[in-house]
Chains A and B, each alone.
Chain A
């Protein structure tokens, strides 16, 4: 019998706030964290989900703020809440049996821009020595390890928008195979910068509904026109069940399985029928020794792009054809935008909260469902219903498909 993996803590930094319960209540009310910003007035897409309630000075001293990029600050702040919630004292743990595995899609994009400006406007010798340690994708994982003095594996996982799910799958296996007992995991991203917004905009991937920021992220609605760029982090504590039980930790949920596949057809365009996305979900079910009938809710990747939403819906419609009338789904991105490498972490926490409270959070702005998408996307209003188990989907540029299956903490 392989080891069971449970969640004992989580923390959030999102465009809807930084306190888990506050964010959750706002989501149940269907609020949006997307706004239009004057600083982006010369971009095609001027609407983003920024973490305005995150004030670095409230969490960190000036030296940390100077030395760490925003994506690392997000991850550290969310990790603090997760660790506090887990009530784990790392000084009492075997440090080699604890790990930090954190997803991030692009690293310190904002810092790259700042230092490139310094090079062009000043000189090569004015490039900051903090540049490389700030921008590297693994900075969040490395700094979490430093913060808690943990000496097992610490790594950044980069699979674009699937980074957090890939990292959490990695964390799950690390515990299951007995390499570690506790893993701080999830994802973080801060790419709401000129290059981030301009780059995705140039691909025509972003919504240009600038006059209606809160209505811009509208997954599965027939009038959707692209995703809304967001930023933030979702960090969780994964733990061996016996280890958690021994120290009397509260169990917030169980990680039951994961599955990862790759489209391998185009670097950004998803397979139109979602064949490999479906394969990832199927593999996840197999990994958990469960069937489609065991799943009550899917937290969708659902970015609000034309092609991506159709492909994901098609994948689920085929795989869950027998449950299509009873299966609930929804997209968290309708409310906070797409947090790229941070999205999977936030969305797994949302999924666990849905299981805890037996309520499916809504897909907001879904007024006229795309006739090509036939699932119950929980439009506009949350829906109360008994939820046993759920899957959280994340797909990323590069053709990455990564799914995580979770159950309630109370089932153990």
Chain B
């Protein structure tokens, strides 16, 4: 899965979960500040990303996610790690 495919899927999931318009979401969108997500929404998003991409996002990485771009980086990293194993 290339970065663009990941990006599209991530934005769709965020829009669906938070009831936001996917067209307004970019890599620099801050999930908490721009989309109004609280800590519970973000914790739930992590679980939904894990399920949709079949990955495990490590706790330290999950704590540091604030923008959509960081989510995509994280998922890309997790997927590549999976390929290497």
Measured in the bound complex, the distance between the Cα atoms of B44 and A275 in whole Å is 51
User: In the complex the two chains form, is A61's CB within 8 Å of B19's CB?
Assistant: yes
Q: In the complex, what residues of A have CB within 8 A of residue B32's CB?
A: none
Which residues of chain A have C-beta atoms less than 8 A from B40's C-beta?
67, 129-130, 133
The one of A66, A122, A129, A133 in contact with B17, judged by C-beta atoms closer than 8 angstroms, is A66
Chain A residues with CB under 8 A of B51 = 122, 126
Number of interface residues of A (CB under 8 A): 12
Q: Is B16 an interface residue (CB 8 A)?
A: yes
Is B18 close to A, CB under 8 A? yes
Confirm or deny: B43 has a beta carbon within 8 angstroms of a beta carbon on chain A.
Answer: yes
Q: Interface code A30-62, partner B: CB below 8 Å = 1, 0 otherwise?
A: 000000000000000000000000000000011
Query: Could you tell me how many residues of chain B have their Cβ less than 8 Å away from some Cβ of chain A?
Result: 12
If A67-B40, A129-B40, A130-B40 touch, whether A62 touches B16 (CB-CB below 8 Å) is yes
Q: Is A268's beta carbon under 8 Å from chain B?
A: no
Within 8 Å of chain A (Cβ to Cβ): is B47?
Answer: yes
Interchain CB contact (< 8 A) of A130 among B16, B18, B19, B44: B44
Chain A residues with CB below 8 A from B47, complex form: 125-126, 128-129
What is the interface of chain B mostly: helix, strand, loop, or mixed? helix
Asked if B16 and A129 make an inter-chain contact with CB atoms under 8 angstroms apart, the answer reads: no
**A129's contact among B18, B19, B43, by CB below 8 Å, is which?**
B43
In Å, the complex CA distance between A61 and B20 comes to: 10
Q: Please, how many angstroms separate the alpha-carbon atoms of A63 and B35 in the complex? A: 11
Closest to B57 in A: A125
A130 to B50, CA, bound (A): 16
Residues of B participating in the A interface, judged by any CB pair closer than 8 Å: 16-19, 39-41, 43-44, 47, 50-51
CB distance from A52 to the nearest CB of B (A): 24
15 more A-B residue pairs beyond the given contacts A130-B44, A133-B40, with a C-beta to C-beta distance below 8 A: A61-B19, A62-B16, A62-B19, A63-B17, A63-B41, A66-B17, A122-B51, A125-B47, A126-B47, A126-B50, A126-B51, A128-B47, A129-B40, A129-B43, A129-B47
- Digit string of A187-199 for contact with B (CB within 8 Å is 1, else 0)? 0000000000000
Cα separation A49 to B26 with both chains bound (whole Å):
46
Q: What is the bound-complex CA distance between A130 and B39, given in angstroms?
A: 10
- A sample of 10 cross-chain residue pairs with beta-carbon separation below 8 angstroms, ordered by A number, consists of A62-B16, A66-B44, A67-B40, A67-B41, A126-B47, A126-B50, A126-B51, A128-B44, A128-B47, A129-B39
A129 to B43 alpha-carbon distance, docked (Å): 6
The smallest beta-carbon distance between A220 and chain B, in angstroms, is: 47
Name B19's contact: one of A63, A122, A125, A126 (CB within 8 Å): A63
Q: Nearest Cβ in chain A — how far from B64, in angstroms?
A: 17
In the assembled complex, the Cα of A126 lies from the Cα of B47 at a distance in Å of: 6
Bound complex: CA of A133 vs CA of B44, how far in Å? 13
Which one of A66, A122, A133 has the greatest number of beta carbons of chain B within 10 Å? A66
- In the assembly, what is the distance between CA of A349 and CA of B52, in Å? 46
Q: In the complex, A237→B39 CA distance in Å?
A: 33
- Report A119-160 CB contacts with B as 1/0, cut-off 8 Å: 000100110111001000000000000000000000000000
